Structure 1
Amino acid sequence: MSIVKLPGWLNQHLYREKRFSDLTEEELDELKGRLNKIRNDNPDISVVIPAWNEGDGIYRTLSSLASNITNLKVELIVVNNNSTDHTQAVLDRLGVKSFFQPVQGITFARQMGLMNARGKYHLSADSDTFYPPRWIELMTKPMIAEPDVVGVYGRYGFIPPEGRTRLNLWFYEKVTGVLIRIRRYNREYINVLGFTMGFVTEIGKATGGFEVTDVRKFDNALGSEYFVEESEDGRMAVNLKKKGSLKLVTHRDARVFTSSRRLTSEGGVLTSFIRRLKLHFKQMNEYLIGS
């Protein structure tokens, strides 16, 4: 795959230049049919997605998950976090199992999903992210194979805005990849991100789940007046490590691609990169020696 191009598997899920209302009945029925294949009442795995005003985006994420190939039994849950757009109508039309969380905040949405998940393993996803065909299988594999592994987290790339190159994003991702490996020694919880992580469901519930003191908004842009330092995914990671180990899934076929809108909300790729690089350099000592 070229560093400036998106992977081929992603193309069929982009529905380029189409809002949900632009989809034909044939397209809707085809997507619903694929989603029905990962609906199970006695699942091995629960894939849980929080959603807030994602009516014209979440069906793309659902399409990518519906194309996953696995022999494991899967249930898909979406938690509608008080959306004011047509998110619920999309879920209803596609026959997706959903819960409504009226309390605003991604922490509350993820926690509701966790408490309603029935699978032995829990995979956490996001409504603006695309999942490759083997993501479910590859993310779950370490927890099945290694009893000490109670949680996993994965690699990711960014989708550029329409008409923009991936070159700057690729460089950003490479630097982030180096930081991830440095932080694994003493600050691994920082690496764990809610759009590509997983854990043993009962351990996640027993150790406190996603509950935090300060609840972040969905983009949580660095430098904004509403930025929150503590995150629900990092808190989950800290809790999980009390019971076992975390594992970084490095397989190239488990790499997800997510929206770059957070970087845009932080002033663009370059601005976001500089801000975050300065922050990480200040914290490098604790990454390396833990103090």
Structure 2
Amino acid sequence: MSIFNLPAWIRPHLYTGKNYDSLTEADIADLRERLKRFQADAPEISVMIPAWNEQNNIFRTLSSLAANTTARAVEIVVINNNSTDRTQELLDRIGVRNVLQPEQGTPHARQLGLQVAGGKFHLCADSDTFYPPTWMEYMVRPMERNSEIVGVYGRYSFMPGLGQSRLPYYLYEKVAGLLIRVRKRNREHINFLGLNMGFVTEVARRTTGFQVSQVRKFDNALGSDYFVDEAEDGKMAVNLKTQGRLQLVTGDKTRAFTSSRRLIAEGGIVQSFKNRLKLHLSRVSEYVKG
């Protein structure tokens, strides 16, 4: 992975300078045609994407997913979490399978996704994130090859703003990568993030799934008044570990690239780094000793 540039596979999905209103009929038709392949009636893989007011982002995510290469039967399903913009209109125009979750909150959206998923393997994606063309295939392989592995999670990188260098984000991600390794032994559930994770569907259904006591907002900015420490993805990881093992899937074949808006919501990359450094330093003993 380049320190300064985005990988080449992302470029066709950037739609630089475009939002939903500026998509052409040709753009819509192209997406609709490419997504037809991911509407299997008897899927092996279900890719579930919660979305709340994502009319200007989710078409990029879907474009990247529609470029995935796999011989497996796949369904892509968007859970519209009560959007008030034109997200539903976009979903209908491009023909992607979707369901409505009127109860607001990411945990409710992901839990409905768990209920309606038809695939043996369940992959979680986010509506502001890009996925490499090998993502689906390489995420399910560990679970397919080892029945003890019931959940997987991959690494992620941040998309720089227009005209920005990837360098500061790359350095930020290197520190995050170190933390992932430190936490893996005693606090692995913290590494399990909804933007790049998966599990065996029936195993997850034997647990309480994504149900949590507090419901978080979509950006859940650290340091904000609405930050919630208990997250539905971490809860799912805790539940899965009662049934088997989790596997970190490393390498660029499963590395997702996500929007940096979470960092912006926390005051920018420097402030976000300070917030997280303070938080994780206070928990080092917990990570190491359990």
CA distance in 2, matches of 1:204, 1:149: 12
CA distance in 2, matches of 1:8, 1:89: 30
5 Å-filtered alignment, 1:56-95, equals 56-95=56-95
Which residue number in structure 1 is paired with residue 253 of structure 2?
A: 253
2:32 match: secondary structure: helix
What amino acid is the match of 1:37? R
Which residue number in structure 2 is paired with residue 31 of structure 1?
A: 31
CA distance in 2, matches of 1:21, 1:278: 41
Q: How many residues end up aligned between the 2 structures? A: 290
Which residue number in structure 2 is paired with residue 121 of structure 1?
A: 121
2:253 match: secondary structure: helix
Which residue number in structure 2 is paired with residue 49 of structure 1?
A: 49
CA distance in 1, matches of 2:2, 2:245: 34
CA distance in 1, matches of 2:179, 2:84: 37
CA distance in 2, matches of 1:157, 1:23: 26
Which residue number in structure 2 is paired with residue 179 of structure 1?
A: 179
Q: Does 1:206 align with 2:206?
A: yes
Which residue number in structure 2 is paired with residue 106 of structure 1?
A: 106
CA distance in 2, matches of 1:272, 1:132: 26
5 Å-filtered alignment, 1:192-271, equals 192-271=192-271
Q: How many angstroms does 1:25 deviate by?
A: 1.6
Q: How many angstroms does 1:253 deviate by?
A: 1.3
CA distance in 2, matches of 1:74, 1:168: 36
CA distance in 2, matches of 1:39, 1:176: 35
2:29 match: secondary structure: helix
CA distance in 2, matches of 1:230, 1:177: 21
1:253 match: secondary structure: coil
- Point out where structure 2 has 5 or more consecutive residues left out of the alignment: none
CA distance in 1, matches of 2:252, 2:8: 13
Q: How many angstroms does 1:131 deviate by?
A: 0.4
CA distance in 2, matches of 1:108, 1:283: 29
Q: How many angstroms does 1:251 deviate by?
A: 2.2
1:252 match: secondary structure: coil
Q: How many angstroms does 1:162 deviate by?
A: 1.4
2:195 match: secondary structure: coil
CA distance in 2, matches of 1:219, 1:2: 27
CA distance in 1, matches of 2:219, 2:281: 23
1:3 match: secondary structure: coil
CA distance in 2, matches of 1:170, 1:271: 16
CA distance in 1, matches of 2:31, 2:279: 42
Which residue number in structure 1 is paired with residue 167 of structure 2?
A: 167
CA distance in 1, matches of 2:244, 2:45: 19
5 Å-filtered alignment, 1:2-21, equals 2-21=2-21
TM-score, structure 1 normalization: 0.98
2:38 match: secondary structure: coil
CA distance in 2, matches of 1:40, 1:101: 22
Report Cα offsets for 1:23-80 as digits up to 9, x if no partner: 2222211111110011100000100000000001100000000000011110011000
CA distance in 1, matches of 2:154, 2:102: 30
Report Cα offsets for 1:241-264 as digits up to 9, x if no partner: 000000000022110000000100
CA distance in 2, matches of 1:2, 1:198: 26
CA distance in 2, matches of 1:191, 1:26: 39
Q: How many angstroms does 1:165 deviate by?
A: 1.3
Deviates more, 1:16-25 or 1:126-135: 16-25
CA distance in 2, matches of 1:186, 1:42: 37
CA distance in 2, matches of 1:173, 1:141: 25
CA distance in 2, matches of 1:262, 1:125: 16
Structure 1 consecutive aligned stretches of length 4 or more whose deviation exceeds 6 Å? none
Q: How many angstroms does 1:21 deviate by?
A: 2.1
1:234 match: secondary structure: helix
